[in-house]
Amino acid sequence: MGSRRCQARKGPAGFFRKSRWNRPDRGNIIGISITRASKGSRLSTNPVSRSLPAAVAISLACLSFLPYAQVAGHDFIILDDGAYLQENWRVRGGLTWEGVKWAATAFHSANWHPLTWISHMIDVDLFGMAPGPHHLVNAVLHSCNTVLLFLLFRFMTGALWRSAAAAALFAVHPLHVESVAWASERKDVLSALFFLLALGAYARYVRSGGIVRYLGVVLAFTLALLSKPMAVTFPLVLLLLDFWPLNRMGAVPLRKILLEKAPLLSLSAASSIVTLLAQGRFGAIDRALPVGERALNAAVSYAAYLRKTAWPSDLAVFYPYTAGGGDGVTAWKAAAAFLLLAGVTSASLATARRAPYLFTGWFWFLATLVPVIGLVQVGDQAMADRYAYLPVAGIFLALAWGAPALLPSFRGRTVLLGAAAGAAVSVLTAVTFVQVGYWKDSVTLFSRAIRVTENNWLAHGVLGCIATREGNLVEAERHLRETLRIRPDSYLGLVSLGNVMMEMGSETRAEDLYRAAILVRPYDPTAHHCLGLALAKRGMAKEAISEYIEALRRSPDDPRILTSLGTALLRTGNLPDAVRRYREAIRLSPEDPVVHYNLAVVLAESGNIGEAIAHYEASIRGNPGNGKAHNNLGKLFEMQGRGGEAMEQYEKAVESAPGDFLSRLNLGFSLVRAGRKREAAAHFREALRIRPGDPDATRGLELARPGGVH
């Protein structure tokens, strides 16, 4: 017994060391685990005991993946997935050295998370732009996080089933659906992966020491920050783990504990500064609301996260920030939230010695939510489900260790706890499965948001954008006017309604809306670009050029703006500058068929026939159904005396656009020259049906008659 007791005291101070904190009645089961492991070798040699943790880990991985398997058939979402994937030419180009340099330096989407960009680029290389695999990678990362959480808790506490219970709740809780089912939220699951790896590396460092193990902590934490800056609270979580379950407080000098965190705090500070610069540059930090209102909303949001953790209903992709509004944070809501937070905080402090797991779990939840709770307002949301991805792990930790402690010992206690845990996990799995289904497409997702929230101006705005794309302008206008009724200064509503007015031919009304949007967000390039398009449509090319240049000043690498500028320059007769802008656009978006087409048109007009042919062919590879590209390419082939190839392109042009007059006309003349007059006559007749009395088509029909002279 004496030798066993000595073995239990060996190792770094505080970890696996007996102290007043790790007795069984203090809520720490490390003492139990070590005592059992030291009673001979029977436990360690039992194959079932050795394989059980692995079986639990595999089961948790399957459990966490089960409700998310359906995302293989889901589409991208209109919100953010365009900026992150579909319309991001850097990402669509896959993993390249240029892409890596861009990821390391870009403040795109008001964020700096280079590792997240690189992960998306790798996905594009592996899977292309099919949405299913991108979603499935998120689901796999979530499964990895579930297993890591289980292994971490078990390694630190020695408790198998409590660790499994906490991880199971993490695996299937509906609050995590947004982070997993949304392709753009790769940053959540990726950052969490490295965050948990860093916690595991820290536990290993505490157990065995060594500079190499400490550097492993620094590396994993750095990767977490490079994935999403929300990981800045990592040093605070380490201090909580030092209290319990690592039990270093009082066993290790406080100075040493704090010095260990100093390099990590420096990384957190640097990441915070870079993030604030990125968000400030793009106006994502809104300082319009007073600090007091933000504090009220923060308290209510904390309470709302707790409520949604306990009862995950009415989950939505967007919760409008309404503090200070007529339906905003009322005094009684704020008072109730403050009382709840104060009560739970006081209870966790009062029971810190008897139940340290409550202290660690509660303050894990509070601390990890601080960057996104709204004290520094970023964006228009009051809260977001995705922000709770890692914070609720603290609640699950407190629950998994606290629930058994609340029940007195009696026969069947273990069975009762297991049945309760199984029932909870089963219900949460079913709810999560249903919630994942709402993410199958944008219409389903935002229609759901309108049903479960009030005055959701963003949801109406997104549905208006979708209706515009589908050509349902009446429905689009209805949604967008509702957006502006709820929030008259909605940038999304102003720009999108301007787009609808453009489609309806009301360029003047569109201009007014775009100018109003510029007043709301002068730093955003979209409204400047759209205003330029409206001015160009009215024939005001010089004024349009000014707006395009203003848009490029804010987004110099946007190929769409460069293309619009090139077209405007072409209309003013500035061919060399137009060509230069188109070439810049192609450099940034080498596969964009529209840019290739526009450059081909300019090159053909400037007499550069060979290069124009190359760009028409590139445009056709990207969009084989572009009848105009086929027709124009046919004309260039004719100029080079390549009649057979010209006829082939005219045929493809007619196949792509049967109602196009010029394609019919050109194919008819090409067939006449080839001696195929009967076929030519049919195309000339069709051309005359499209344009009755046209002299060129009439002349062509005369040439196609037997005996007609060419």
Q: How far apart, in whole angstroms, are the C-alpha atoms of residue 390 and residue 387?
A: 8
**What's residue 25's pLDDT?**
35
Residue 681, judged by CB atoms within 10 A of its CB (0-12, 13-18, 19+), counts as buried
DSSP 8-state class, residue 329: -
Q: Render pLDDT for 211-229 as a digit per residue (tens, 0 to 9).
A: 999 999 999 999 999 999 9
**What's residue 379's pLDDT?**
60
* Residues 572, 545 contacting (CB under 8 angstroms): yes
Residue 704 falls inside a structural domain: no
Number of Cβ atoms within 10 Å of the Cβ of 607? 7
Q: In the predicted model, is pLDDT for residue 275 greater than 90? A: no
**What's residue 411's pLDDT?**
83
Q: What is the mean pLDDT of the chain?
A: 88
pLDDT band of residue 629 (cuts 50, 70, 90) is very high
Mean pLDDT of 323-327: 38
**What's residue 49's pLDDT?**
67
Phi first, then psi: give them for residue 13, nearest 5 degrees. -60, 135
Q: Whole-prediction pTM value? A: 0.81
**What's residue 47's pLDDT?**
60
What would the two tokens of residue 703 be? Answer: 């040439």
Q: How far apart, in whole angstroms, are the C-alpha atoms of residue 515 and residue 496?
A: 13
Q: How many CA atoms lie within 13 A of 152 on its CB side?
A: 25
Q: How far apart, in whole angstroms, are the C-alpha atoms of residue 472 and residue 502?
A: 14
**What's residue 323's pLDDT?**
38
In whole angstroms, how far apart are CA 619 and each of 439, 481, 570, 629, 631?
Answer: 33, 37, 19, 7, 12
Q: Which of 97-111, 487-501, 511-525 has the lowest mean pLDDT?
A: 97-111
Q: In the predicted model, is pLDDT for residue 154 greater than 70? A: yes
Q: How far apart, in whole angstroms, are the C-alpha atoms of residue 149 and residue 358?
A: 17
Kindly give the pairing relationship between strand 381-383 and strand 319-320: antiparallel
Mean pLDDT of 109-118: 91
Q: How far apart, in whole angstroms, are the C-alpha atoms of residue 9 and residue 11?
A: 7
Residue 317 falls inside a structural domain: yes
Q: How many CA atoms lie within 13 A of 176 on its CB side?
A: 31
Mean pLDDT of 378-389: 83
Q: Render pLDDT for 634-677 as a digit per residue (tens, 0 to 9).
A: 999 999 999 999 999 999 999 988 888 999 999 999 999 998 98
Phi first, then psi: give them for residue 135, nearest 5 degrees. -65, -40
Residue 109 falls inside a structural domain: yes
Q: Render pLDDT for 129-142 as a digit per residue (tens, 0 to 9).
A: 999 999 999 999 99
Residue 285: beta bridge partners? 378
Residue 381: beta bridge partners? 320
What would the two tokens of residue 451 be? Answer: 């049903």
* Residues 155, 106 contacting (CB under 8 angstroms): no
**What's residue 13's pLDDT?**
34
**What's residue 590's pLDDT?**
83
* Residues 181, 138 contacting (CB under 8 angstroms): yes
pLDDT band of residue 39 (cuts 50, 70, 90) is very low
**What's residue 325's pLDDT?**
37
Top-confidence residue, 37 or 483 = 483
Give the Cα-Cα-Cα angle 49, 52, 54 (nearest 5 degrees).
130
Q: Render pLDDT for 560-611 as a digit per residue (tens, 0 to 9).
A: 899 999 989 988 988 889 889 999 998 888 878 888 998 898 888 888 899 9
| 546 phi-psi bin (left φ>0, alpha ψ -120 to 50, beta other) | alpha
Q: Note if the bond before 245 is cis, omega within 30 degrees.
A: yes
Residue 676 falls inside a structural domain: no
Q: How far apart, in whole angstroms, are the C-alpha atoms of residue 231 and residue 225?
A: 6
Closest CA to 476 of 485, 484, 467: 467
User: What is the DSSP secondary-structure string of 179-237?
Assistant: HHH-GGGHHHHHHHHHHHHHHHHHHHHHHH--HHHHHHHHHHHHHHHHH-GGGGGHHHH
Q: How far apart, in whole angstroms, are the C-alpha atoms of residue 20 and residue 100?
A: 51
pLDDT band of residue 290 (cuts 50, 70, 90) is low
* Residues 46, 54 contacting (CB under 8 angstroms): no
Number of Cβ atoms within 10 Å of the Cβ of 331? 8
Domain with 142, as residue range(s), is 2-437
Of the chain, the percentage scoring pLDDT greater than 70 comes to 89
**What's residue 484's pLDDT?**
97
DSSP 8-state class, residue 110: G
Q: In the predicted model, is pLDDT for residue 330 greater than 80? A: no
* Residues 548, 563 contacting (CB under 8 angstroms): no
Residue 492 falls inside a structural domain: no
Residue 627 falls inside a structural domain: no
Q: How far apart, in whole angstroms, are the C-alpha atoms of residue 321 and residue 383?
A: 8
The total domain count for the chain is 1
Closest CA to 280 of 111, 113, 114: 111
pLDDT band of residue 37 (cuts 50, 70, 90) is very low
**What's residue 602's pLDDT?**
84
Q: Which of 507-521, 533-547, 555-569 has the lowest mean pLDDT?
A: 555-569
pLDDT band of residue 261 (cuts 50, 70, 90) is very high
pLDDT band of residue 7 (cuts 50, 70, 90) is very low
Residue 616 falls inside a structural domain: no
Q: Which of 279-283, 426-430, 498-502 has the lowest mean pLDDT?
A: 279-283
Q: Tally the residues of the chain.
A: 710
**What's residue 24's pLDDT?**
35
**What's residue 284's pLDDT?**
55
Instruction: State how far Cα 319 lies from the chain centre.
Output: 17
Residue 477 falls inside a structural domain: no
Q: Which of 118-122, 405-409, 541-545, 706-710 has the lowest mean pLDDT?
A: 706-710
pLDDT band of residue 615 (cuts 50, 70, 90) is very high
Mean pLDDT of 325-351: 83
Q: In the predicted model, is pLDDT for residue 195 greater than 50? A: yes
**What's residue 622's pLDDT?**
85
